[in-house]
Amino acid sequence: MRFTVLTLFPDTIRAVASHSIVGRAIQAGLLSVDAIDIRSFAGNAYGKIDDSPYGGGRGMLLMCEPVHAAWREAVARSGETHPRTVFLSPQGRTFDQSRAAELSKLPGLILLCGHYEGIDQRVLDEIVDEEISLGDFVMTGGEIPALAVIDAVSRLIPGVLPDESAYLEESHSDGLLEYPHFTRPAEWHGKKAPDVLLSGHHERIVQWRRLMALTTTMKKRPDLFGRIQLEKGEGARLAEFLSGTD
């Protein structure tokens, strides 16, 4: 999959994307992350790409033409006629695991990062297919949100993680939060790892993990828990399990 980020900070994108799992996936040829500098399409000697908003008010806006020219360059590099173009914006739909899974099936994505007050609406109307938000808060630029999308989508591309079960069992993959994890030593600061995990009894471990995933979701995210379809008899098993935990 090909990610192309339109940004004023291409070095930030390249630096972050070159590390860890995403960096290794790039090396392995499973995906690419290209950063296009909007400023290099300024069309003037000063590299000016922003201007003050019509009607007054604070802040500066990225102008239409540099953004459009950077986007045309991204389209030309993609080899597609209209690769999906996402604008990272606090006004967009909040990003989640199911959207990450859908996006991971596309051949490529163009990710447009705003800065300052934002971007002239006319170019957004012309090139943007969807707006994605990282959450109901405002950041200074779209680079961190774009990197978050790249990271979450990349790990769902076949081959990027060594084993598909790594993400099938994780929080949000099936509407549940994941069960807690423990590793050596078996006792630390007087706290013991649960006996069942050291028992080697596969079926009991699977059952414990399922009940802990349900318990964790119920305690931390009652909104998600309300949407879960419990399996037959699971309500009673969960009640019994909860009466034995604090």
Ligand X SMILES: C[S@@+](CC[C@H](N)C(=O)[O-])C[C@H]1O[C@@H](n2cnc3c(N)ncnc32)[C@H](O)[C@@H]1O
**CA-to-CA distance for 170 and 155, rounded, in angstroms?**
12
The number of angstroms, rounded, from the C-alpha of 156 to the middle of its chain's C-alpha atoms is 10
Our finding on whether 104 is near ligand X (CB under 6 A) is: no
Tell whether omega for the bond before 222 is within 30 degrees of 0, i.e. cis: no
CB of 86 to ligand X, least distance (A): 10
Sign of the alpha-carbon torsion through 64, 119, 66, 2: negative
Distance CA 49, CA 43 (A): 8
Decide: is 88 part of the binding site for ligand X (CB under 6 A): yes
Describe the strand order of the beta sheet including 50-51 as a list of residue ranges: 50-51, 61-62, 118-119
114 binds ligand X (CB under 6 A): yes
In 3D, which of 34, 114, 35, 38 has the Cα closest to residue 70? 38
Query: 192 near 186, Cβ under 8 Å?
Result: yes
**Residue 40 structure tokens:** 């290099």
CB of residue 141 to ligand X, shortest distance in Å: 5
The residue number with the shortest CB distance to ligand X is 114
**Binder of ligand X out of 89, 104, 171, 215 (CB under 6 A):** 89
Kindly state whether residue 45 participates in binding ligand X, applying the rule CB under 6 A: no
Which residue, 49 or 134, has its beta carbon nearer to ligand X? 134
The HSE-up count of residue 205 (CA atoms within 13 Å, CB side) is 11
- We find the least distance from the C-beta atom of residue 221 to ligand X, in angstroms, to be 20
Residue 117 binds ligand X, judged by CB under 6 A: yes
Kindly indicate which of the ranges 107-115, 160-168, 176-184, 226-234 contains the residues binding ligand X, using the contact rule CB under 6 A: 107-115
Give CA–CA dist 40/47, Å, rounded: 7
Size of the site for ligand X (CB under 6 A): 19
| Residue 134 touching ligand X (CB under 6 A) | yes
- CB contact at 8 A, 3 and 33: yes
Rg (the chain; Cα; Å): 23
Closer Cβ to ligand X, 85 or 215, answer by number: 85
Interaction between residue 53 and ligand X (CB under 6 A): no
* Binding-site string for ligand X from residue 145 to residue 174, where x marks contact by CB under 6 A and - marks none: x-----------------------------
Stretch that binds ligand X, among 137-145, 178-186, 189-197, 209-217 (CB under 6 A): 137-145
Residues that bind ligand X (CB under 6 A): 88-91, 113-115, 117-118, 133-135, 137-142, 145
